[in-house]
Structure 1
Amino acid sequence: MNDTYVTLIGNVVSEVRTSLTNTGVPMARFRLGVSPRRFDRDANQWVSRDSSFYTVVAWRRLAEHTMSSVEKGDPVVVAGRLSIREWQRDERWYTSVEVEAYSLGHDLTRGTSHFTRAPRRERDAGHTPGGRTESDSPRARAA
C-alpha cells in the first residue's frame, strides 16, 4: 500500500499536548490551521480562503523537541504521512485528518529562530526519520 506524504504550512492553533505510550514512547499532538491566501489583483488586496485543520502527531525525539520548541500561535512547516479516517455515529458522518510528522519546524519566512542541536542518544542511533530502525528499512531487507 502506498502512503501519501504532504508538506503543510500553517499556524499551531492548539496547545501542544504530550503523553507517553504504555511502552514509554513520547508522543506530541497539536492542531494545525492552514489558511490559503491569494492576492486578488482586481481588489488589489490579499484574500483568505476557507481554513483547513489537521491533527499533527510527532513521535520519539521529534515529539520531545516539539514539546520544548513549539507553542500555540507559532507558524510552522510540517512534513509527514497523511491519513484520513471517516466513521459514522448516530447516523452522522465524521472525518479526521491527521499527519504523522517526520519533520517539523518554524516557518522562517515569518520570523527568526535559533537552533540548538540536541545530543544524540545511544538508543536513537539506528532510527530513521520515519521511526523505523535501520534493519527495518527496505534497503536492509533487500540486502
Structure 2
Amino acid sequence: MFETPITIVGNIVNDPQGRRVGDQEVIKFRVASNSRRRTADGNWEPGNSLFVTVNCWGKLVTGVGAALRKGDPVIVVGHVYTSEYDDRDGNRRSNLEMRATSVGPDLARSIVRIIEKTPSLRDDGPTADESAEEAVVDAEEEKPMPLSA
C-alpha cells in the first residue's frame, strides 16, 4: 500500500477532540487550507478550500491537546487517505483524512512560546521533580550563556 505524504498549511476549524480507541488515545481536528488569488485589477479574491480531518496518535496527543484550539494557524505533515462510511440514511460517503506525523503552529501567522516537557539542562534549571510550568522563565530574565573554550 502506498502512503501519500502531504503538508497542509491552514487553520483549525474546530477544537481538537480526544477519544480512546482500544488501548490508545487519538485526538482529531479539522483543518481548512484556503487559497487566494490576485485578480487582474490587483485585488485578492478567495480561491479554493481544502478541508481535512487530522488524526493525531502517540506523542502528538499530549502536545496538540494542550496547545492548539479552534482558529489557530497550523502546519500539519502526515499521510492523507480517504475514509469511507455509511451515513444515517445508508448512503456511502467519504472524507479526506490525514494521519499526522508532525503538527505545529504556523509561526508566520502566530507568536508562540515553547514550554519543554523535560527540565532544562542549565545549571540554574529546575530539578526533575519540578513541573514544566515552573520551568518557564521569561525571556527578559534569561541570561546569555557564555561559550566555553
Q: TM-score range by the shorter chain?
A: 0.7 to 0.9
CA distance in 1, matches of 2:53, 2:103: 13
The two structures have a TM-score, normalised by structure 1, of 0.74
SS of 2:62's partner is helix
CA distance in 2, matches of 1:26, 1:85: 19
- Cα distance, 1:119 vs structure 2: 2.6
Distance 1:43 1:92, change over 3 A: farther
CA distance in 2, matches of 1:2, 1:109: 32
CA distance in 1, matches of 2:97, 2:53: 5
The two structures have a TM-score, normalised by structure 2, of 0.71
Counterpart in the other structure of 2:54 = 56
- Cα distance, 1:13 vs structure 2: 0.3
- Cα distance, 1:54 vs structure 2: 0.7
Query: Greater share of helix residues, 1 or 2?
Result: 1
Q: Deviations over 1:94-130 (max 9, x none)?
A: 221100000000111112111122239xxxxxxxxxx
- Cα distance, 1:14 vs structure 2: 0.7
CA contact (8 A) 1:15 1:30 kept: yes
Counterpart in the other structure of 1:27 = 26
CA distance in 1, matches of 2:117, 2:18: 19
After superposition, the CA RMSD in angstroms is: 1.9
Q: Which amino acid aligns with 2:108?
A: T
CA contact (8 A) 2:36 2:48 kept: no
Gaps of 5+ in 2: 120-149
- Cα distance, 1:87 vs structure 2: 5.0
Gaps of 5+ in 1: 121-143
Counterpart in the other structure of 1:36 = 35
Aligned residues: 118
CA distance in 2, matches of 1:71, 1:116: 17
Q: Deviations over 1:54-92 (max 9, x none)?
A: 100101211111000000000000000111134566574
Counterpart in the other structure of 2:117 = 118
CA distance in 1, matches of 2:61, 2:52: 17
Q: Which amino acid aligns with 2:48?
A: D
Q: Which amino acid aligns with 1:28?
A: I
